Amino acid sequence: MKKFSISFLFILVSIFSLSSKAMDLVYSSEKNKVTEKSVIEYETVVSGSVLLDRSNMDSVKTESTTKTTSKSPTLRTNVTKENTSLFSIYDAWISLDLDEDFDGYYSELTINFDADYVYNDYAEVYAEIYINSNGVDWELLYSTDSFLIYGNDSSDFYSVSLSLNTDFPTGQYDLLIDLYEVGYSGVAATISPGEDVDLYMLPLEDKVHEINPYDTDITYVISRLSQDNDMDGYYRNLELEYEINTFDAGRYVYAEIAITDTTTLQRRILTTDNFYLSNGREIVNLYLETGYPTSRYDVTISLVDVYTDELLETAGSGFSSLNRLPLESSDFDVYSEVEYEVVVSGGGSFGSVLILLLLLIPAIGNRNPIK
């Protein structure tokens, strides 16, 4: 409850507007009460790809090399740091190079990063590049050869082109780069998706999935938002309706819904009940109870085979109806009605205040106008 103490000289203005203000407060209170479910609907029919590129690239001192790679079982665990005050990774950027089946997912990419040394001198370093598809485990993708950097020179950035052979199902992947000084075992610098969005949610797939594209497509997605108790424009209920076109009907599948906070990049994954794949519409209703702070969220829908874990189709950033949705869970969607109490210094009832006002009116009428 908020209290406002009003001085005697302020009584004149307050009393004239007291009755109208009281009506306004009641009106505001009623207006903010949720009496019916309001729905915001987003629809996208055409899917597109996201191409991350850097238009003004400096000349590369380190020669670019093309490597073929499969996912490594080596996980990034028990990270120790060393000489972190001497090194940093100033920037990283990705070029997505080859998409043979034109589905918006790439099997070849080029990873570029610019490492800096605090002294105006040469340092010999190498890097390990990790990949992540589930928001939890960072798996080693590639280890570079050693190379030289000089101070904070921007022209000494490292570039490596990779071709993904196998073990990379169609999906969204994050990258992380650890930098090491040659001769030391600890990580000297790291750059992650939280520090550079160019490393975040890259649309990738391996050569196997390029050659044999899936026969299942999500052709459009509608997202409906409802239930906003605190009237802040952020909603706690999300309904997803999507259309499936498939030549592979009858497979036993489930839908995986990934919800990513665009501010913190925290990703939570929900799964539906199993169902048989068919041509038609599917509807998923999500009721966000806890754990979703007020923010904008990106949503991804993936269809996964129950028995083989094969990813059949993904709908994500290509659909505007899944991007930057205003969401919050019930524990953040709390309506609180603000109450106001007018307290007059010295006490007294409304009638006594009115008497004081009447006594002041003659004095006000006798005031000389300003010339």
Could you give the CA distance from residue 301 to residue 254 in angstroms, rounded to a whole number?
A: 10
Rounded to an integer, the average pLDDT of 214-235 is 90
Q: Where in the chain is the domain with CATH 2.60.40.10?
A: 65-210, 214-327
Q: What is the DSSP string of 20-76?
A: HHHHHHHHHHHHTS--S--EEEEEE----------SSPPPPSSPPEEEEE-----B-
Written as one string, the DSSP assignment of 125-190 is: EEEEEEEESSSS--EEEEEPPPEEEETT-GGG-EEEEEEE-SS--SEEEEEEEEEEETT--SEEEE
Is the Cβ–Cβ distance between 51 and 97 less than 8 Å? no
> Average pLDDT of the chain?
77
Domain 65-210: give its CATH code: 2.60.40.10
DSSP-derived letter for residue 344 is E
Asked whether the predicted pLDDT for residue 48 surpasses 70, the reply is no
Amino acid at 365: G
Question: For residue 336, what pLDDT is reported?
Answer: 67
Report pLDDT for 367: 47
Two structure tokens written together for 92: 């990283």
Lowest mean pLDDT among 16-25, 31-40, 256-265: 31-40
Can you give the pTM of this predicted structure?
A: 0.46
Span 40-56, average pLDDT: 35
Euclidean distance between CA atoms 335 and 319, whole angstroms: 32
- CATH architecture for segment(s) 214-327: Sandwich (2.60)
Rg (alpha carbons) of the chain, rounded to whole number: 30
How many C-beta atoms lie closer than 10 Å to residue 134's C-beta? Answer: 12
Q: Is 2 helix (H, G, I), strand (E, B) or coil?
A: strand
Q: What is the pLDDT of residue 188?
A: 97
- What is the band of 137 on the pLDDT scale with cuts at 50, 70, 90? confident
